Amino acid sequence: MRLFDDKIQTALEGQLSANMASTMIKRGWSYYKDGHVQNVKETTRDILTGIVRGSELYAVVIDADQFRYSTCTCPYVGFCKHMAAVYFYLCAELEGDEAAERSYFKLLGLAPASTLVKDEQRREQPRDAFQGDPGPEGTAAQWFDWMETEYGETFRKCRHSLHALQPVLSSLKGLSKDWEKPLQRLHWLTSILFALEQAERAILTVDSFSRYYHEMSFIRMAEPWLEHGYALLAELEPEAMSEGEWATADALAGRVKRRATLAERQLFDWPFLYLAFCEVLTVRREWFELELSKLLEAAERKEADQDESFLHAAAGMFYFIDGDDAASISHFAKSAFERTQRLVYPCVAQRMEAGKWESAEQWMAYLFERVHAARNARNIGPFMTLCRRADEDRPEQPIWTTYMTELLPYSYTELSEHWLNVKRYEDWADLQMLVGAKLEEIDAAGLREVVKISPESLLPLYHQSIEANIATRNRQGYRFAVKQLKKLERLYKGMKESERWESYLAGLTSKYQRLRALQEELWKGKIGT
């Protein structure tokens, strides 16, 4: 019974293309053709095992799902020729020698030799009709045109998932396997952008009733592609780029920007990807100034099909990078806060980290105005994190406490935890009283900490809670009140304040002497005896 389905086999081919050096693929092909592979088994749905004879017998285990866990008992460190040989053997077993040959040449980014002379009519067509890929000297535009010609209809196969794009992406990356690293990174970025654009086209073919579920599926599938893209961006070295490399990087940034400025709904966060490009490329001052002027001009034009909010946010990021916080805040203020806030929070944190507190206060004032106007858990959480950090670093500034208390009750959990952390126990107790927190609902660990270190802070809280339970005028409330009175008694006596306890209890029993049920519960609880 066949365990490997077509999807698993395609994924494995992609893993080999992305991770194995072409020299290993060629040697593996020779090993397979020379009959060195002794045995191959599909042990589970995604695990392949085999025995290959070299200078001795080597055991190979290939994990198609988690390729990095694949192993071979040979001395070579990394993905070796024995693994490639086992894979070619599997292809031949499942679909014949021609399938193995096709896979071999595909992994090398070439056309199988057996297909080059089979069709006499193809040999008679003009040579340009079979021109290969643009190669390492090709421009970004040439590569996108070539990709569109070769794989531009792949999105039609993605009605339910993006699996059809994975082998395309792997194959495209494989074409630059032997290129120099700087060119290879740019080519891989180009390939990833092409795959993301194909996914954007694919989602448009989905009916509106199931679009949400397909969006979630597509985004999860593309997450590794995007992560790889961001990692490649971080490795770029703009100042060391040749003219051709810089032209490609600039063209890729421009392509992403065109996507980012579209006002229509899209699958991926193209604005964030564009700003990631900008963060890398702005080290070149001339590019920084030219790109900023383009953003400002586009924002001024206010074209209907362009996202004006994003243009202002992007300009705000450029000014932030340049150290002009006032101009940056003014542009962010013109953008939609719910869409751009995740760009702002790291800006504020960066200013705090650098100790630029005057700038940080400007940013925090801007943030508070926006967060307070649209209070919800999503907005308040990140803002409270910044407030807590600021209050820890600059406790002498009362504005941080003002911000946090103004956002109550939404900020209660964060503020309560913060005041425990900074050991402001009286403020913590006052907060519990302010929001009407019930003692039985307060975090037990926090309560124990305050009891141990600052019991005096808890007295008003216990008094309030006892009064609130008595005010219910029912047996259950009276019983809760008695339980809390017992804890309060321990607090007073632990503080060596027995006289205060006796005075408080006498006043309480006198005040409620007509509540017979309460008096009975006090007697049962042995309060005052």
Mean pLDDT of 132-136: 88
> Higher model confidence: residue 85 or residue 121?
85
> Higher model confidence: residue 296 or residue 210?
296
Do the Cβ atoms of 84 and 20 come closer than 8 Å?
yes
Smallest CA-to-CA distance from 253 within 270, 235, 231 is with: 270
Element containing residue 292 per DSSP (H, E): helix 285-301
Q: What is the pLDDT of residue 265?
A: 82
Establish if 341 belongs to a structural domain: no
Do the Cβ atoms of 314 and 300 come closer than 8 Å?
no
Establish if 251 belongs to a structural domain: no
Number of domains present in the structure of the chain: 2
Mean pLDDT of 442-462: 90
Distance (Å, rounded) from C-alpha 514 to C-alpha 504?
A: 17
Residues of the chain with pLDDT > 90, as a percent, come to 62
Mean pLDDT of 356-384: 90
Which residue in this structure is represented by tokens 């194995």? 20
> Higher model confidence: residue 105 or residue 86?
86
Q: Look at residue 324 and give its three-state secondary structure.
A: coil
Q: What is the pLDDT of residue 158?
A: 86
Q: What is the pLDDT of residue 406?
A: 93
Q: What is the pLDDT of residue 124?
A: 40
Final residue of a domain: which of 75, 109, 143? 109
Element containing residue 71 per DSSP (H, E): strand 71-72
Q: What's the domain range around 466?
A: 433-524
Establish if 316 belongs to a structural domain: no
Distance (Å, rounded) from C-alpha 23 to C-alpha 30?
A: 11
Q: What is the pLDDT of residue 5?
A: 66
Establish if 353 belongs to a structural domain: no
Handedness of CA 257, 139, 187, 318 (dihedral sign): negative
Mean pLDDT of 266-295: 94
Do the Cβ atoms of 420 and 432 come closer than 8 Å?
no
Do the Cβ atoms of 91 and 64 come closer than 8 Å?
no
C-alpha distances (whole Å) from 493 to each of 51, 234, 455, 499, 522 are: 78, 62, 11, 9, 18
Rg for the chain, CA atoms, rounded = 34
Mean pLDDT of 299-328: 90
Establish if 267 belongs to a structural domain: no
Establish if 184 belongs to a structural domain: no
pLDDT exceeds 50 at position 459: yes
3-state helix, strand, coil in the chain (%, to 5): 70, 5, 25
Final residue of a domain: which of 73, 94, 109? 109
CA 397, 400, 401, 403: dihedral to nearest 10 degrees?
A: 140
DSSP 114: G
pLDDT exceeds 70 at position 125: no
Establish if 38 belongs to a structural domain: yes
At 353, phi and psi to the nearest 5?
-60, -35
Establish if 442 belongs to a structural domain: yes
Write the single-letter amino acid at 68. R
Mean pLDDT of 496-513: 92
Final residue of a domain: which of 65, 83, 109? 109
The pLDDT tens digits of the residues spanning 36-95 come to: 998 888 887 778 899 999 888 999 999 888 888 889 999 888 889 999 999 999 888 877
Distance (Å, rounded) from C-alpha 290 to C-alpha 223?
A: 31
Handedness of CA 235, 240, 245, 247 (dihedral sign): positive
pLDDT exceeds 60 at position 121: no
Distance of CA 27 to the CA centre of its chain: 39
Local confidence band at 170 (pLDDT 50, 70, 90 cut-offs) = very high
pLDDT exceeds 60 at position 416: yes
Contacts of 148 (CB under 8 A, 6+ apart): 194
Do the Cβ atoms of 136 and 176 come closer than 8 Å?
yes
- Rounded to 5°, the CA angle 291-293-299 comes to 105
- Mean pLDDT value across the chain: 88
Q: What is the pLDDT of residue 144?
A: 95
Local confidence band at 3 (pLDDT 50, 70, 90 cut-offs) = low
> Cis omega (within 30 of 0) on the bond before 409?
yes
Q: What is the pLDDT of residue 278?
A: 94
H helices within 152-242, ranges in order?
165-174, 181-203, 211-235
Distance (Å, rounded) from C-alpha 509 to C-alpha 411?
A: 37
Which residue in this structure is represented by tokens 């020299």? 23
